Amino acid sequence: MEIGFMKTILIANWKMHYGPMKAGGWIRAFRRERLPKDLDIVVAVPHVSLAAARASLGRASIPALAAQDSFWTADGAYTGEISPAMLLEFGVQYSLVGHSERRIYLGETDEMVAKKAAALQAAGIAPVICVGENEAQYKKGEMAKVLKAQVTAAIANLKPDGKSAMIFAYEPVWAIGTGKACPPQAAKEAHEVIRSAIQKKFNSNVAEHTRVIYGGSVDANNINEYVTTTGVNGALVGGASLDPRAFALLCRTANPA
Ligand code: PGA
């Protein structure tokens, strides 16, 4: 498969860190840093911090804003949920979907992930669909089987020419927050599995032009190994994004020009 040129994307995932009191400070500190222009830089903040992040950004577009989750209908009797339409009010351009922490702690299923991804796409927000095998599955050699099933389920309701392009994040559960990053060559193989599932549902053109990024213990020391690996179009960064200066350094390392 010939992977088409796609701009590298780096997404900071704060997870459940930084409420509105701290979110603005992170954005301001990050924007004071020298930031590379040839990357898409995104920050995924908690829902309650979107307003503060937006206010600190003003009209600036770097970093772009992402949500960490989103529900599958525009409104309705769904206590506690947040819809894509609500996210749009903050200028959110991306949303994570199906992060393993949500699958593990909140029981999110492949079916829910598929519905959320489709609703986001219909609203014009790019779904960043997270997939990845856990440690037991990895040890049993089931990476490809797990990814194939998760990807196929997640794209069931998506359109290849939808309003916003889907992105996949390969995040092996055993590499998240453990300091045991997946070797780039193994990530490359996983990304190939993801692209072949996309190809099967759509076609090779869609597969070649869908960004697939890696996540799991990425930091400024190893980012280069990933962004220089064919088929790896960026990274989803948790722990190493909490310090705005460290994340800015990671961005500059990924794109030293
Ligand atoms: P990590 O998290 O960078 O802290 O491993 C990545 C993620 O879960 O998105």
The domains found in the chain, sorted by start residue, are 9-254 (3.20.20.70)
| Alpha helical stretches, state H, the chain | 20-32, 50-57, 84-88, 100-105, 110-123, 135-139, 143-154, 184-201, 204-208, 223-227, 244-254
**From 43, 100, 105, 176, mutation site for ligand 1 pocket: most ligand atoms within 8 A of C-beta:** 176
The length of the chain, given as a count of residues: 257
> Which residue's CA is the nearest one to ligand 1's atom 6?
238
> What pLDDT does residue 90 have?
97
Low-confidence residues of the chain, pLDDT below 70?
Answer: 257
Q: What is the pTM of this model?
A: 0.97
By annotation, the residues acting in catalysis are 99, 171
The pLDDT, as a whole number, for residue 159 is 86
Residue whose CA is at the smallest distance from ligand 1 atom 7:
238
What six digits make up the tokens of 94? 């991306």
Q: Which of 247, 131, 232, 250 is nearest to 184 (CA)?
A: 232
Task: Tell me the CA–centroid distance for residue 222 and ligand 1, in Å.
Answer: 13
* pLDDT at residue number 257: 64
Sign, CA torsion 228/229/234/238:
negative
Q: What is the pLDDT of residue 2?
A: 79
The pLDDT score that the predictor gives to residue 3 is 80
Specify which residues 169 forms β-bridges with: 130, 213
Query: Does residue 41 sit in helix, strand or coil?
Result: strand
pLDDT of residue 218: 98
Instruction: Determine if ligand 1 sits within 6 Å of the CB of residue 231.
Output: no
